[in-house]
Structure 1
Amino acid sequence: MNLERKEIFVTTPGNGQLYSDAVVAGGLMYTTGQMPLDEDWNLISESFEEQASYVFAQLEKVLEAGGSGVDQIIRLTIYLADIDDTSRLAPLRRAFLGDARPASVIVQVGAFGTPGMRLEVEAIAAVK
């Protein structure tokens, strides 16, 4: 079976390099993990709240670029450097998702490739 696929590129770290920001196939969009890094791969802030807000804003840009949106997220995967940040994440996640309640998982990871990075977020979403 040959599935038609479209690669999505927006202004995020890695654009034009080894991977796309998302791939749309079979009516679904699969995003690359969104990180709190600027276009030069520098950490945008040490603050968890600022990192999370930035990552959610980047994810929204990617979703919109591929013809989807936050309300179309089916599954949200959040990787945290410290699971204790879950309580700080909750209100930011709620604000980002609004009324949407996608299937979700939060996973603590040992470390990220960039020192000080506290989270990474990826999503699977329906395309409008």
Structure 2
Amino acid sequence: MSRIIRTDANPVMSKAVEYHGFVFTQGMVASDLDADFETQTRQVFAQLDALLEQHGTDMTQVLQAQIWLRDIADREAFNKLWTAWLPAGAAPARACVQAVLADPRMLVEVMLITTK
């Protein structure tokens, strides 16, 4: 039987859940919600990098990404940052949609599923 590893769990959610060699992240948002779109996006990527490293994986192993943008007009700017961050040849299955996020200062949220 495989063990389920929950990282930084609280009563509502875990930052990540690892099971059977897969890592499922929470929806990650920027630490500085007063920052501009590019800064928030870079903060999200840095947090995801750190979380994946904690679980012994990285962006070369990403299988799926779910992306929520406060304003879909930011999609082109996001894609520019995304393609610079994503390792060559490692593009995952992906959805990118406009959404009303939990805090109006949140401009971007990203959730990943990776393997180890």
TM-score, length basis structure 2: 0.90
Q: Distance in 1 between matches of 2:95 and 2:54?
A: 24
- 1:82 aligned residue (71, 74, 83): 71
Q: Answer yes or no: is 1:106 the counterpart of 2:96.
A: yes
Q: Distance in 1 between matches of 2:2 and 2:87?
A: 32
Runs of 4+ in 1 over 4 A off after TM superposition: none
Alignment of 1:1-128 (within 5 A): 3-9=2-8, 16=10, 18-37=12-31, 43-45=33-35, 47-99=36-88, 100-109=90-99, 111-127=100-116
Letter in 2 for 1:37: S
**Structure 2: any 5+ residue segments left out of the alignment?**
none
Q: CA deviation at 1:123?
A: 0.2
- Distance change in 2, residues 1:44/1:59 (3 Å): farther
- Distance change in 2, residues 1:107/1:3 (3 Å): farther
Contact 2:7 2:16 in 1 (8 A): yes
Q: CA deviation at 1:83?
A: 0.7
In percent, how many aligned pairs have the same letter?
A: 33
Q: Distance in 1 between matches of 2:92 and 2:45?
A: 15
1:35 counterpart SS class:
coil
Q: Tell me which residue corresponds to 1:12.
A: none
Letter in 1 for 2:5: K
Q: Distance in 2 between matches of 1:103 and 1:88?
A: 19
Q: Distance in 2 between matches of 1:65 and 1:28?
A: 13
Instruction: Say how many residue pairs are matched.
Output: 115
Q: CA deviation at 1:93?
A: 0.1
Q: CA deviation at 1:70?
A: 0.8
> What is the alpha-carbon root mean square deviation over aligned residues?
1.6
Q: CA deviation at 1:44?
A: 4.8
Letter in 2 for 1:24: E
Contact 1:77 1:122 in 2 (8 A): yes
